[in-house]
């Protein structure tokens, strides 16, 4: 499947901005942008999850229904005109009922859109929505319907299929795919990378250098080759103890398998040549109310989880070895 | 909840449903056992409650704001004295005799709640006006209504079961063990202690499947807090006196809280209103505590506590003192007995332990695993021709105390930086 088809098929919207104290710093220069620079092509799929409540209607503002929008939220509405901070009209070539305005701080996204690099998917929901934030999030991670209860996520299943018949984690890394199938950063473990009946297809990591160093020196990781790796006695394999122990062991194994590789890629990468903004909002006048307000948000918000999927593909024509999707 | 779930924005005529929704979905009756409910056919009907019930409950909860000066809270009253206002709470908007932002109409619930209604008690009204007392009374009616649903007790007991036994709950377990627990909870007026006593004395708590002893043991992944506090207490690590040496006390507890964050637990600040993922996130539950990153942080926490050479942490476990204090010389001087004794202290399954690979079929750990501990203890690096004999000699005499310390550190690190130590 071609990358564009993949993305189209999944209606994936790339959203290249973030709020919150830590992620701004992460974006400015972090290990993943650096490692991504090592890719021999642009086949990197990044999924950013903004955790928490974003005001969708003030990010993407309805144009044709602006009066109604304004009536419902006069106190917080983004001005349509006559203001230095009025909304940005996204695309006047769209049919009138599809016209939207962007929040005035979304200039960079307007630029992406103009270059054909961004799309907006609005009104995302599911049939028989039960009003639960948590169920809604689970469904978006699991990629199922309203009555599905999968124990896997849509990226996890995609990766399983993509690399079949090879099974993760037992048959990875291998000669065709020496990298982790996906990398996850942030403060939780997303269902999105889970596969049926085994550990998730992602490696969770913040700093490849310290990760490799710790995995290299901690006693808990130096036991490979001289012991049975804590395998439970066979009789206990299907007991709760056995199942949880095998789960932890699987993740311990993968830490060892990938720590050095990740660090190697990281060390070989030049520092990013892109200058990322350090402060949000990026184009608000210094000292403006808006800037202060967003600084307050940045301080009070929990870190936004963000994930970065490196998805290998088997198309060897691209780079002569494992490529990137 | 007035702040976290916008209760202070919930006023008559402009109802905010956030708290009412989470009160039902997260804190009481819940969404049922995942994957077992029939698919909803009517929009807004979630089986245990409906959108109508969320709105009705929101109306019951309307008309309150933050009491930032704690006027409703008498700090001189003992928290455990019954019949008094004990905990800080909000206050009604308007005044206590005219709760002007409270929705004073009759609240109609759906057939999921037996078409119940909640309305103000006429005796508590001030003329036709709602009062603080009448609004509080409506909240009591709401709580009574929710707790009267059998599913509420069932949902609480599922959470207790997951916390103490295992995260997988089949329909059969839900219909038997959990149902029994729920009966006990209801018949004891929602007191938890009788439920826990029953559970801890039940056969199920100790063994689930036939033929496998201690089957339900060791199936819980320790939270970062369990790992940390459990380790510090087991090894008798003392914190500085909070009154006599407050600076050191806060430095060390600050260090612990940072370590918890590294292991994925933001202490007292769970990411979600639903709490830590480990206690609600179907289908992984407590497995949320283990990622490649968090596991490294767990092992690092142990290394910093145990290894004398690590200057990272202020708190230390002294393995020599631990063995001297807890284990007799007869056992400690024999390397194999010492390992078995320490495994019993630290790891969840330690029955029938043996170093003989031909005889470990019924053991909690494989003989290979014990032999690995022996290797980590005395043979990495191996400095003696007869490591076990040399250990006995050094321990009994005692000589080469630095060697003894280093060898015990290796053993403690091997046992506690392990998948087994993450379980209990």
pLDDT of residue A214: 92
A286 reaches B (C-beta below 8 A) = no
> Residue range B266-283: average pLDDT?
89
Q: Cβ–Cβ of A228/B368 closer than 8 Å?
A: yes
Residues B326 and B274 in one domain: no
Highest mean pLDDT among A243-252, A305-314, B384-393: B384-393
Residues B24 and B119 in one domain: yes
- Domain ranges across chain A: 3-54+108-324
Residues B65 and B160 in one domain: no
Share of chain B above pLDDT 90, in %: 75
A268 reaches B (C-beta below 8 A) = no
B127 reaches A (C-beta below 8 A) = no
pLDDT of residue A41: 58
Query: Pick from B105, B112, B107, B110: which is nearest to B151 by CA?
Result: B112
Which residue of A lies nearest to B24 if distances are taken between CA atoms? A132
Residues of A in contact with B417 (CB under 8 A): 218-221
Last residue of one domain, picked from the residues B131, B147, B163 = B147
Nearest CB neighbour to B292, from listed A232, A247, A251: A251
Decide if B412 is inside a domain: yes
Token digits of residue B24: 């039902």
> Residue range B218-224: average pLDDT?
94
- Whether the per-residue pLDDT at A20 is higher than 50: the answer is no
Nearest CB neighbour to B369, from listed A151, A214, A230: A230
- Whether the per-residue pLDDT at B214 is higher than 60: the answer is no
Share of chain A above pLDDT 70, in %: 66
Q: Cβ–Cβ of A302/B293 closer than 8 Å?
A: no
Number of domains chain B is built from: 4
Residue range B328-367, pLDDT digits in tens: 999 999 999 999 999 999 999 888 999 999 998 888 899 9
Picking from A118-132, A287-301, B145-159, B220-234, which range would have the lowest pLDDT averaged per residue? A287-301
- Whether the per-residue pLDDT at A247 is higher than 90: the answer is yes
What does the alpha-carbon distance between residue A305 and residue A307 come to, in Å, rounded to a whole number? 7
pLDDT of residue A308: 33
Decide if B67 is inside a domain: yes
Nearest CB neighbour to A228, from listed B26, B369, B376: B369
Decide if B313 is inside a domain: no
> Residue range B297-326: average pLDDT?
88
Residues B14 and B127 in one domain: yes
> Residue range A182-199: average pLDDT?
84
What does the alpha-carbon distance between residue B353 and residue B331 come to, in Å, rounded to a whole number? 15
Task: Look at chain B and count its residues.
Answer: 424
Q: How far, in Å, are A227, B267, B290, B341, B407 from residue B389 at the CA level?
A: 23, 47, 39, 18, 14
**Minimal C-alpha gap between A285 and chain B (Å):** 31
Residues B43 and B111 in one domain: yes
Nearest CB neighbour to A218, from listed B54, B303, B376: B303
Strand order in the sheet with A202-204: A45-48, A306-309, A182-185, A202-204
Q: Cβ–Cβ of B218/A244 closer than 8 Å?
A: yes
Residues of B in contact with A230 (CB under 8 A): 369, 418-420
Residues B330 and B411 in one domain: yes
> Residue range A45-69: average pLDDT?
87
> Residue range A24-49: average pLDDT?
58
Residues B255 and B127 in one domain: no
Share of chain B above pLDDT 70, in %: 94
pLDDT of residue B314: 73
State yes or no: ipTM above 0.85. yes
Decide if B165 is inside a domain: yes
What DSSP element (H or E) covers A204? strand A202-204
pLDDT of residue A42: 57
Residues B159 and B141 in one domain: no
Under the banding of pLDDT at 50, 70 and 90, the label for residue A36 is: low
Residues B339 and B290 in one domain: no
Q: Cβ–Cβ of A149/B299 closer than 8 Å?
A: no
Residue range B284-308, pLDDT digits in tens: 999 999 999 999 999 999 999 998 7
Nearest CB neighbour to A220, from listed B31, B274, B417: B417
Residue range B237-255, pLDDT digits in tens: 989 999 999 999 999 999 9
B277 reaches A (C-beta below 8 A) = yes
CB atoms within 10 A of CB A213: 14
Which residue of A lies nearest to B366 if distances are taken between CA atoms? A233
Reduce the secondary structure of B310-358 to three states and give it as a string. Answer: CCCCCCCCCHHHHHHHHCCHHHHCCHHHHHHHHHHHHCCCCCCCCCCCC
A175 reaches B (C-beta below 8 A) = no
Picking from A275-284, B112-121, B300-309, B376-385, which range would have the lowest pLDDT averaged per residue? A275-284
pLDDT of residue A287: 45
B351 reaches A (C-beta below 8 A) = no
Q: What is the mean pLDDT of chain B?
A: 91
- Whether the per-residue pLDDT at B23 is higher than 50: the answer is yes
Please count the residue pairs, one from chain A and one from chain B, whose beta carbons lie less than 8 angstroms apart: 181
- Whether the per-residue pLDDT at A229 is higher than 80: the answer is no
**Minimal C-alpha gap between A40 and chain B (Å):** 26
Residues B63 and B184 in one domain: no
The answer to whether B221 and B287 have CB atoms below 8 angstroms apart is yes
Strand partners, B91: B65
A189 reaches B (C-beta below 8 A) = yes
pLDDT of residue A167: 93
pLDDT of residue A289: 43
pLDDT of residue B59: 98
pLDDT of residue B43: 81
Q: Which residue segment(s) compose the domain that B250 sits in?
A: 224-306
Decide if B395 is inside a domain: yes
Residues B177 and B261 in one domain: no
Residues B66 and B171 in one domain: no
Decide if B311 is inside a domain: no
């Amino acid at each position: 499947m071609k990358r564009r088809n993949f993305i189209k098929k999944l209606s994936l919207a790339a959203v290249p901005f973030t709020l919150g104290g830590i992620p701004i710093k992460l974006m400015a220069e972090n290990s993943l942008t650096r490692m991504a620079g090592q890719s021999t092509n642009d086949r990197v799929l990044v999924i950013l999850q903004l955790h928490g409540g974003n005001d969708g209607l003030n990010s993407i503002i309805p144009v044709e229904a602006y009066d109604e929008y304004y009536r419902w939220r006069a106190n917080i509405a983004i001005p349509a005109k006559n203001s230095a901070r009025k909304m940005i009209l996204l695309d006047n070539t769209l049919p009138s009922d599809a016209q939207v305005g962007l929040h005035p701080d979304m200039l960079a996204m307007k630029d992406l859109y103009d270059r054909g690099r961004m799309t907006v998917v609005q009104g995302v929901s599911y049939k028989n929505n039960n009003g639960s934030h948590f169920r809604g999030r689970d469904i978006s991670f699991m990629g199922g319907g309203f009555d599905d209860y999968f124990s896997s996520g849509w990226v996890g299943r995609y990766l399983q299929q993509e690399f079949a018949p090879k099974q993760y984690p037992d048959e990875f890394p291998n000669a065709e795919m020496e990298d982790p199938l996906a990398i996850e950063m942030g403060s939780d473990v997303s269902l999105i990378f889970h596969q049926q009946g085994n550990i998730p297809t992602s490696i969770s990591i913040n700093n490849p250098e310290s990760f490799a160093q710790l995995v290299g020196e901690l006693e808990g990781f130096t036991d490979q080759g001289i012991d049975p790796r804590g395998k439970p006695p066979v009789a206990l394999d299907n007991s709760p103890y056995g199942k949880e122990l095998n789960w932890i062991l699987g993740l311990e194994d993968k830490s060892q398998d990938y720590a050095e590789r990740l660090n190697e890629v990281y060390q070989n990468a030049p520092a990013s040549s892109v200058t990322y903004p350090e402060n949000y909002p990026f184009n608000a006048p210094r000292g403006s109310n808006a800037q202060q307000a967003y600084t307050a948000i940045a301080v009070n918000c929990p870190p936004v989880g963000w994930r970065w999927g490196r998805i290998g593909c088997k198309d060897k024509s691209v780079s002569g070895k494992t490529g990137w999707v | 909840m007035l702040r976290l779930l916008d209760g202070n924005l919930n006023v008559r005529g402009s109802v905010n449903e956030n708290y009412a929704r989470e009160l039902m979905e997260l804190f009481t009756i819940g969404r049922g056992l995942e994957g077992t409910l029939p698919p909803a056919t009517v929009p807004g009907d979630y089986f245990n409650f409906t959108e109508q019930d969320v709105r009705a409950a929101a109306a019951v909860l309307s008309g309150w704001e933050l009491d930032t000066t704690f006027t409703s809270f008498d700090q001189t009253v003992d928290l455990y004295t019954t019949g008094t206002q004990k905990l800080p709470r909000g206050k009604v908007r308007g005044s206590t005799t005219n709760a002007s932002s409270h929705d004073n109409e009759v609240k109609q619930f759906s057939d999921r709640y037996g078409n119940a209604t909640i309305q103000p008690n006429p005796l508590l009204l001030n003329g036709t006006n709602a009062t603080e007392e009448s609004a509080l009374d409506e909240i009591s009616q709401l709580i009574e209504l929710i707790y009267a649903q059998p599913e509420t007790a069932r949902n609480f007991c599922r959470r207790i079961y997951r916390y103490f036994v295992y995260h997988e709950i089949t329909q059969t377990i839900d219909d038997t063990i959990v149902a029994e627990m729920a009966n006990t909870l209801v018949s004891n007026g929602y007191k938890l202690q009788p439920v826990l006593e029953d559970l801890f004395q039940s056969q199920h708590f100790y063994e689930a499947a036939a033929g496998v002893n201690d089957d339900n043991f060791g199936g819980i992944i320790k939270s970062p807090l369990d790992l940390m506090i459990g380790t510090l207490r087991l090894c008798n690590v003392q914190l500085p006196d909070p009154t006599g040496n407050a600076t050191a006390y806060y430095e060390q507890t600050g260090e612990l809280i940072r370590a918890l964050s590294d292991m994925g637990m933001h202490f007292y600040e769970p990411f979600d209103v639903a709490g830590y993922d480990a206690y609600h996130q179907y289908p992984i539950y407590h497995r949320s505590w283990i990622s490649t990153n968090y596991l490294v942080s767990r092992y690092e926490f142990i290394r910093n506590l145990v290894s004398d050479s690590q200057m990272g942490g202020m708190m230390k476990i002294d393995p020599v003192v631990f063995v001297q204090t807890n284990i007799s010389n007869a056992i400690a001087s024999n390397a194999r007995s010492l390992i078995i004794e320490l495994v019993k202290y630290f790891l969840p399954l330690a029955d029938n332990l043996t170093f003989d690979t031909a005889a470990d079929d019924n053991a909690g750990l494989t003989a290979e695993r014990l032999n690995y501990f022996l290797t980590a203890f005395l043979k990495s690096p191996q400095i003696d021709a007869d490591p076990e004999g040399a250990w006995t000699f050094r321990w009994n005499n005692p000589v080469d105390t630095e060697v003894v310390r280093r060898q015990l550190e290796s053993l403690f690190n091997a046992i506690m930086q392990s998948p087994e130590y993450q379980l209990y």
